[in-house]
Structure 1
Amino acid sequence: MSKEITQYEAAGLDEKMRYVQTLSSAGELIPRGLHAAGKPSPGKVLLVCETGAMLGIHPMAAIAGINVIEGRATISPALMSGLIRKAGHKLRVSTAGTVEGGDFVATARLTRSDDPDFTYEVSWTPARAARAGLCKYEQQQGKWAVNARSKSGSALPWESYTEALCKARAIGEVAREGAEDCLMGVQYTPEEMGALVSEGGEMVATVDKPEPTEDWAALVAAVTTLAELKEIRDRANAADEYAANRALFLARSGEISRGEETAPAEAAPDENIVDAEVVDDEPATEETEAERYERESAAEFEAQATDG
């Protein structure tokens, strides 16, 4: 282990925080995956440096090869390969065929130094990527072609770098099968976590989540009756955004229902009643509107989960 790595590991938290604050001041020199609110995030940089220390690499190597996606550290194929070879294991990646010819295949073979008689082997092809839903792989005018487009029509990495990403997928899978002790839990590449990547597999950007069609939180908070809430729920269902906001709708349904139950009844006295016999109320047998709303919501959510 190098002297620099030992010094970083031996430093206290305050010293490490000053170190990452200094690194974060580098601005655009810090990879985009370590940014938050448009600038480098010291917290993300610290997470990456700590992950690098766990893997036994210099903080700068960690910053170059590790990205944080949705709070999870990911590792580039190049760094993954380097860690495996650094541990003394043999990793070989080969390709054969062509994408256009329909026979391209990328194969990664891993032989551990402590088990030289066995070789782990994983292959990835464009057809396998298509089966995984990463792209389309079809014949066009006598040639095979990969198609992977964003909603705006621009080419996605699987279309632009098909061969490279097949190799990256093969490396990642064979590493998880035969060299988990080298990865220490940092097992996935940025591309496997849904990020947009370069030809080398380094993260370029994360895929933006689509904005909701309406401000459901504000709409739900504004309704005062279950009928109004059901109307908003139907709109959310039509936009395919109800499942993500189901808890919001059910919470508001409960609030409205409790308000209706505690509201004092306002009934005008009937002057024609002279005498009356008080009898116990019969137990309600009909489903209340609130119960029906929650039952329908639960049924729809279950149906969506089953379809998914």
Structure 2
Amino acid sequence: MTIVHRESNTLALAAQAMQLLDFGGMLIKSGMLPSSVRTPESAVAIMVKGIELGLPAMAALNGITVIQGKPTVSPQLMLSLINRSGQLDNIEIDTGVQGATVTMKRRGRTPFTAKFGPVEAKAMGLDSKDNYRKQAPVMYQWRAVAACARVVFPDVIDGLYTPEELGADVQVDVQVDEDGAMTVAVQETKATPQPAAPERTLPDPQVEAWANKVRDMSTRVRKVAPEDEVNKTVDFYDWQRDAQEAQKCHAELKELGLHYAPAKPSELVPASNSDAEAMVSAEQISQLQAIARSCGATVSDDRAQLWGYSLNAAGPIRTKELTESQAVVLLGMFGDKDADERKAIMQEAKRAAKGVLL
């Protein structure tokens, strides 16, 4: 089945502009719209975007929010669009205080799993936010849903992000009925202003280094992933001028490549780090050493095998050679594993190193 979005006819919409403006003004006066929709023009813009996504007017007005000039959708609306597409074969959601795991399977494709939990929230500076202190499992769940949807259904959600992912502070209202069904209402309250980038007379070496990494990764991912999905990722981020944007773009491209080439993940994960990447911190090294001991990795060679195997790298990686981002991945990976599971991974790493992994 081929997914075709309903394309709007510009001339037809122009002819209906006054009617839409009147309709938008009427809805605003009715008090039925979110407080973020303040003008008839804003309402019309959201309705037009809804037409492109195949959404009824009220569904679009209640599910789409404009953040810093970009349309965003609630994670619930993301799931609604995916269900409407008819391409969702199966979805599994596991949520708890230790994090959320979401697995989606698209028809004719392999399943993909996204995880978001305390480790990721802390790394992104989200753990101090009010929502994450009061309702962390819910926030973890919708972050994982959005991350999974962007990889498995980028064409269905049209590359859209959730308000929180673009820096908006959101308020989450959770209600659970007597049958255990959960209802979640997400409302944007404010947008966190992004600091202006300082003017530079010369290129930032770190930006240049990360930009080169993005170019290299996009070239490799294009060999296995659809061109339009790669382009949407590359076009979304300001990776040529901002190092943090470039890092996010690089990570998402790598995730996309791993999704379409699961049999050869080592091609997309470098065995050694780059000078452009922040190196593992002393605190992370201490945490990783504790994990290694619980896995039974008592010598440096065992630890190198464990890290390389867990990151799907081409070879062993010593603890001090890890990048900060690789350390975050490892801490998140082992954080929800018990002692037996950790030891089993160590044994698999040793067998893989000997070339006898079953």
Structure 2: 5+ residue runs without aligned partners?
1-5, 173-183, 208-241, 245-358
- Give the 3 Å change call, closer, same or farther, for CA 166–64 of structure 1 in structure 2: same
Partners of 1:196 and 1:207 within 8 A in 2: yes
Confirm whether residue 174 of structure 1 aligns to residue 170 of structure 2. no
Offset at 1:209? 4.2
The one-letter code sitting in structure 1 at the alignment partner of 2:191 is: V
Indicate the residue corresponding to 2:14 in structure 1: 13
Q: Is the 8 A contact 1:190 1:201 kept in 2?
A: no
Mapped pair 1:203 → 2:187: yes
Matched, 1:165 2:139: yes
- The structural deviation recorded for 1:43 is 2.4
In 2, Cα distance between equivalents of 1:307 and 1:176: 22
- Give, in angstroms, the shift of residue 67 of structure 1: 0.4
Pair 203,96 (structure 1): closer, same or farther in 2 beyond 3 Å: closer
In structure 2, C-alpha distance between the alignment counterparts of 1:96 and 1:209, rounded to whole Å: 30
Give the corresponding residue for 2:305: none
Question: Could you report, residue by residue, the CA deviation over 1:260-280 in whole angstroms, capped at 9, with x for unpaired residues?
Answer: xxxxxxxxxxxxxxxxxxxxx
Task: Confirm or deny: 8 A CA contact 2:8 2:52 kept in the other structure.
Answer: no
Q: How many residues align?
A: 191
Q: Give TM-score scaled by structure 2 length.
A: 0.46
Cα deviations across residues 195-242 of structure 1 (Å, max 9, x unaligned)? 1223236332223649xxxxxxxxxxxxxxxxxxxxxxxxxxxxxx9x
Shift of residue 120 of structure 1? Answer: 1.0
**1:66 alignment partner in structure 2:** 64
Offset from partner CA, 1:92-127 (integer Å, 9 cap, x none): 242254x3xxxx121111111233xx1011011122
The equivalent of 1:194 in structure 2 is 167
Contact 2:92 2:102 in 1 (8 A): yes
Question: Which residue of 1 is the match for residue 45 of structure 2?
Answer: 47
> Helix, strand or coil: the match of 1:172?
helix
Residue identity in the other structure for 1:204: E
Q: 1:93 to 1:205 in 2, by over 3 A?
A: farther
Question: Which position in structure 2 is the counterpart of 1:110?
Answer: 104
Change (3 A) 1:307 1:45: closer
Alignment partners' CA distance in 2, 1:57 and 1:96: 29
Identify if the C-alpha distance between structure 1 residues 170 and 128 changes in structure 2 by more than 3 Å, giving closer, same or farther: same
**Which residue number in structure 1 is paired with residue 54 of structure 2?**
56
- Seen in structure 2, the aligned counterparts of structure 1 residues 8 and 61 have a Cα distance that, compared at 3 Å, is farther
Identify which range, 125-134 or 17-26, moves more after superposition: 17-26
Q: Report sequence identity in percent.
A: 25
Whole-Å separation in 1 of the counterparts to 2:198 and 2:48: 35
Q: Which has the larger radius of gyration?
A: 1
Q: Whose RCO is larger (CA < 8 A, sep 6+)?
A: 1
Deviation of 1:11 (Å): 4.5
Amino acid at match of 1:167: Q
Task: Return structure 1 stretches of 4+ with deviation > 4 angstroms.
Answer: 5-11, 243-246, 305-308
C-alpha deviation, 1:9, in angstroms: 8.9
What's the counterpart of residue 126 of structure 1?
118
Give, in whole Å, the separation in 1 of the partners of 2:85 and 2:105: 11
Within a 5 Å distance, the mapping from 1:79-98 to structure 2 comes to 79-88=77-86, 89-97=88-96
1:133-160, CA deviations, whole angstroms, 9 ceiling, x for partnerless residues?
Answer: 212xxxxxxxxxxx33xxxxxxx22222
Query: Tell me, what secondary structure is at the counterpart of 1:134?
Result: coil
Question: Per-residue displacement from partner, 1:150-202 (whole Å, max 9, x unpaired)?
Answer: xxxxxx222222111111111111111010111123x2001111112232363
Deviation at 1:83, TM superposition (A): 0.8
1:33 corresponds to 2:42: no
- Alignment partners' CA distance in 1, 2:168 and 2:124: 16
Q: Which amino acid aligns with 1:190?
A: P
Q: What are the within-5 Å matches in structure 2 for residues 139-154 of structure 1?
A: 147-148=128-129
Following the alignment from structure 1 to structure 2, what is the Cα–Cα distance between the partners of residues 66 and 59?
Answer: 10
- Give the aligned partner of residue 216 of structure 1: none
CA contact (8 A) 2:94 2:100 kept: yes
Q: Distance in 2 between matches of 1:307 and 1:178?
A: 26
Q: Pairwise CA RMSD of aligned residues? A: 3.5
Equivalent residues in 2 for 1:218-297 (5 A)? none
